[in-house]
Amino acid sequence: MQYQVRHTTIYSYPDPVSICQNDVHLTPRQTEFQTSTSFYLDVSPEPMLLRPWIDFFGNQVWYFSLEEPHQELRVTARSRVNVTPRALPNPAKTLPWETVRDQFAVPATPELRELCQFCFESPYIHYFAAARDYAAVSFTPGRPLLEAALDLNSRIYHEFEYAPTSTSISTPTWEVLKQRRGVCQDFAHLQITALRSLGLAARYVSGYLVTTPPPGKPKLVGADASHAWLSLFCPEYGWIDLDPTNNVIPQARHVTIGWGRDYGDVAPIQGVLTGGGPHILTVSVDVAPVEE
């Protein structure tokens, strides 16, 4: 599948901002199953400096600096992406999850030692007993790794309410588990916390989900949004994506922007500014299939 993506972010300020410096994670990731054929970033007002760089996890990031007073910042990213479905393993044929856990406990190869960074706590991922107990219902003794992970994926989907106004990025995962509601980044953080608490490697993935309107209804401009899911490392098969918000293994309808330990590593736009006061944020996202 080929998609055209447009992501516009607007910050409006009551007072002038004198200096603004930001990092932007909006460039689609190049992978074995995804290629970005074009990307364009437009920043208004025009920045004094705009340059790309590659972060620790291999994601492309754009840095820009504004040093003139402004009361509105508009950032628009446009890209064209090809996504190819991958062959998936039989969940029941994957290794027992304890075997995989033990490999990370005593990593015998450079690859495993590098993957261990996704087994630890991170700024948004903190271990707590209730998360491990929640995971244990799916990860019974001897159960195949991917089979157990898909069961956990399904339980989060069925047992939690998707409620866009119920949380913020600062809402801790323990509260999401207690309240049983949140949004995609909350569900991804929860499942990552549960998996890492068992000694498994899981990473946070940022991107887009291609949506379709109800039958007979037009697709609304700007109705799409950024999406988040996670990946679990499965020996012999590599990283397998899991989307607990939709209870699926992401394939051709998910566009990957980047990955890291948690949301903080791949936030769409983050930075610092001087002045401005309380801002109003407006985000518009369109992900549309490209007709051949």
CATH assignment at residue 170: 3.10.620.30
The predicted pLDDT at position 26 comes to 97
Instruction: Count the domains in the chain.
Output: 2
CATH assignment at residue 274: 2.60.40.2250
- Average pLDDT of the chain? 94
Share of the chain above pLDDT 70, in %: 96
Q: Which of 30-39, 158-167, 283-292 is the least confident region? A: 283-292
Whether 237 and 272 map to the same domain: the answer is: no
Whether 165 and 134 map to the same domain: the answer is: yes
Here the tokens at position 39 are: 């990307």
The predicted pLDDT at position 71 comes to 96
The C-alpha atoms of residue 110 and residue 143 are separated, in whole angstroms, by 27
Asked if residue 223 has pLDDT above 60, the reply is no
Structural domain containing residue 136: 91-264
Whether 122 and 13 map to the same domain: the answer is: no
Asked if residue 292 has pLDDT above 60, the reply is no
Asked if residue 203 has pLDDT above 50, the reply is yes
Q: What is the DSSP string of 241-290?
A: EEBTTTTB---TTEEEEEEESSGGGS-SEEEEEEE--S-EEEEEEEEEEP
The C-alpha atoms of residue 108 and residue 171 are separated, in whole angstroms, by 37
Asked if residue 139 has pLDDT above 50, the reply is yes
Whether 238 and 116 map to the same domain: the answer is: yes
Q: How many CB atoms lie within 10 A of CB 89?
A: 15
Whether 260 and 138 map to the same domain: the answer is: yes
Q: Grade residue 225 by pLDDT with cuts at 50, 70 and 90.
A: confident
Whether 75 and 193 map to the same domain: the answer is: no
Whether 119 and 217 map to the same domain: the answer is: yes
The pTM score is 0.94
The predicted pLDDT at position 210 comes to 86
Contacts of residue 200, Cβ cutoff 8 Å, sequence gap at least 6? 97, 100, 101, 104, 119, 145, 232, 233
Asked if residue 69 has pLDDT above 60, the reply is yes
Q: Grade residue 222 by pLDDT with cuts at 50, 70 and 90.
A: very low
Long-range own/partner contacts, residues 97-100 (CB < 8 A, 24 or more apart): 97/139, 97/143, 97/144, 97/145, 97/148, 97/198, 97/200, 98/141, 98/142, 100/145, 100/200, 100/233, 100/234, 100/235
Whether 217 and 242 map to the same domain: the answer is: yes
Here the tokens at position 6 are: 């447009």
Whether 177 and 240 map to the same domain: the answer is: yes
φ/ψ bin of 199: left (φ > 0), alpha (ψ from -120 to 50), beta (otherwise): left
Whether 116 and 243 map to the same domain: the answer is: yes
Whether 8 and 31 map to the same domain: the answer is: yes
Whether 119 and 201 map to the same domain: the answer is: yes
